[in-house]
Amino acid sequence: MAVVRAWIYLLFTLICFGRVWYLFRLSTASLRAPRIPTTHTIPADVDRSIPISMGAEPKGIFYFVQISDLHISKFRPKGHTHYFLHFIRSILPVLKPSFVVVTGDLTDAKDMRRVTSQQYVEEWSLYNYAIDQGVQGTRWYDMRGNHDCFDLPSWKSRANLYRTHGQSASLIAEGGGIYAWEERLEYGRYKFIAIDACPKKGPSRPLNFFGYLTSKAMDQLASHVLSDSYNHTFMFSHYPTTTMVFGLGDILQAYHPSTQSLELELGDLKEHGLYRIVAIDHDLISFVDTPLPSAIMKSRPERLIPLDNTTVLWPHAVDIAPVVLITNPKEARFSIPAKEPLEQIQKSTHLRFLVFSSLDPSQLQVSIWIDNIEHIHPAEFVGNQEMPLWVAKWDPSSLELKELHTIRVQVDTPTMIGSSSIEFRLDNQRTKVNGGTGEWIISTHMTSTVRFCFSTSSF
Ligand SMILES: *[C@@H]1O[C@H](CO)[C@@H](O)[C@H](O)[C@H]1NC(C)=O
Ligand SMILES: *[C@@H]1O[C@H](CO)[C@@H](O)[C@H](O)[C@H]1NC(C)=O
């Protein structure tokens, strides 16, 4: 009798396990083997015969822009919507990037008193119309953040206004939450992956702070990523790869030693007015995070959602101070020795940097200091309409190999000053990111296996 009972228990346990396994497979089906649709292929194969060395040529370099956390809001005119419209009106025409990526929280979806959440069609329409009416000649990629998924029963739900108003909605739908695109340039191939990490079915606030991709899905995603040969792979997600809630308020910047990838969180546009420019110059990756000008940050529009819901009420464009992005040498804190040809720095004949300004290069006065000593060679504009590249001759062999050096580039216009300074090395070593708590948290919750990752989170 006891034997029979034991068998029954065993059978019952097995059935339970089976059921659990079935439910698990069912609920994570969409995460397995993500099909990544690829768009925008510029056909042309990598010409390996071109000897790559960093000189004065405006070649081997491209750049893009990332913004995050727009929180377009029906109820909050200051910041939020206003900054977004200014980004399009005042910043984008000066930057002229290859493309813009928005990593989530396109709309605010909160009510007047910030108590309840709801998807407002006016917020989504404004987002959509602003891009349609204000962005010309720049590709635009977007993905949802947690605010864009508040109160959504499913992707197909009518409340999912991203599906009807998001710029990349069809790509996300097709790829089951993930899409990718590729830049094929004559000197290299670069892959970009966007992850829509909204919970597919709905916990509403506060549980949907967590991204939905499991670490297993991340691994699969990564194997997908690593299976192809790209000079660099960039991943964008609204959630840090650790899907954590501990990092509140910290800007995450971390280097993952086991995977040789770098994770860089970008601050928000809605309150801090931040945008990021990322340049890839001879496979060295550099970026700069810049806030909107104070003239924009201080101005207070009265009304943002137009009465007819369709014509965008554009603010007057504001001049911006020059934005400087140094691409050679590369900032040592963010170097990825296994993935970047850092030896190029030592071999290079010129310092290289991008200067974004609405003024003609002839009206800019550029000064350079290395280790606080004014650089003897003058800076020279060698770029064109598409590439605001400046160079200055230099001799890296005159600098101490094993030390940390600083370079500062300052650009004066008749009325404004822009500058950038970074620390660099010539021995291909990396220096600590100093990400503080953020880095510690990421390094203790290692889930990412991708090479380079731009994420953002807001709670
Ligand atoms: C991109 O990768 C290819 C293949 O490894 C290489 O030949 C080429 O030099 C790389 N491009 C750059 C800019 O380093
Ligand atoms: C604009 O949108 C609001 C909210 O959906 C609606 O009440 C109003 O009638 C719309 N206005 C026009 C002119 O369509």
Q: Is the per-residue pLDDT at 36 higher than 90?
A: no
Q: Decide whether any atom of ligand 2 lies within 6 Å of the 404 Cβ.
A: no
Q: Look at residues 205, 124, 207 and name the one whose alpha carbon lies nearest to residue 160.
A: 124
Give the residue, 376 or 260, on which the prediction is more confident.
Answer: 376
Give the residue, 439 or 67, on which the prediction is more confident.
Answer: 67
Model confidence over 436-447: pLDDT tens digits?
Answer: 444 443 443 322
* pTM, rounded to two decimals: 0.80
Ligand 1 pocket, residues with Cβ under 6 angstroms: 46, 48, 52, 60, 187-188, 231, 282-283, 341
Q: Is the per-residue pLDDT at 435 higher than 80?
A: no
Distance between CA 217 and CA 391 in Å, rounded?
43
Q: Decide whether any atom of ligand 2 lies within 6 Å of the 122 Cβ.
A: yes
What SS3 state is found at 142?
strand
Q: Is the per-residue pLDDT at 116 higher than 90?
A: no
Structure confidence at residue 173 as a pLDDT band (50, 70, 90): confident
C-alpha distances (whole Å) from 213 to each of 23, 141, 175, 241, 450 are: 17, 20, 14, 9, 14
Q: What is the number of the ligand closest to the CA of 122?
A: 2
Q: Which of 53, 282, 283 to mutate to test the pocket of ligand 1 (most atoms within 8 A of CB)?
A: 283
Q: What is the mean pLDDT of the chain?
A: 78
What is the number of the ligand 1 atom nearest to the C-alpha of 52?
9
**How far away, in angstroms, is 47 Cα from ligand 1 center?**
8
Provide mean pLDDT across the span 407-416. Answer: 96
Distance between CA 39 and CA 405 in Å, rounded?
41
**How far away, in angstroms, is 191 Cα from ligand 2 center?**
41
Q: Whose CA is nearest to atom 6 of ligand 1?
A: 48
- What pLDDT, on the 0 to 100 scale, is given for residue 203? 39
What is the number of the ligand 1 atom nearest to the C-alpha of 46?
3
Model confidence over 120-163: pLDDT tens digits?
Answer: 888 888 899 999 999 988 999 998 887 777 777 777 888 888 99
CB atoms inside a 10 Å sphere around CB 254: 25
Q: Decide whether any atom of ligand 2 lies within 6 Å of the 121 Cβ.
A: yes
Tokens of residue 178, six digits: 């993930």
SS3 content of the chain, % helix, strand, coil (to 5): 25, 25, 50
- What pLDDT, on the 0 to 100 scale, is given for residue 40? 45
Q: Whose CA is nearest to atom 1 of ligand 1?
A: 188
Lowest mean pLDDT among 140-149, 271-280, 303-312: 303-312
Q: Is the per-residue pLDDT at 169 higher than 50?
A: yes
Q: Is the per-residue pLDDT at 204 higher than 70?
A: no
Instruction: Select, from the ranges 288-292, 298-302, 327-331, the one with the highest average predicted confidence (pLDDT).
Output: 327-331
Lowest mean pLDDT among 109-123, 177-191, 212-226: 212-226
Q: Whose CA is nearest to atom 7 of ligand 1?
A: 48
Helix and strand numbers (H, E) in the chain are 10, 20
Distance between CA 72 and CA 304 in Å, rounded?
10
Model confidence over 321-363: pLDDT tens digits?
Answer: 999 999 999 999 888 887 889 999 999 999 999 999 999 999 9
Q: Which residues of 50-61 are buried (b: 16+ CB within 10 A; e: fewer)?
A: eeeebbbebbbb
Q: Which of 46, 59, 285, 286 to mutate to test the pocket of ligand 1 (most atoms within 8 A of CB)?
A: 46
325 within 8 A of 277, measured Cβ to Cβ? yes
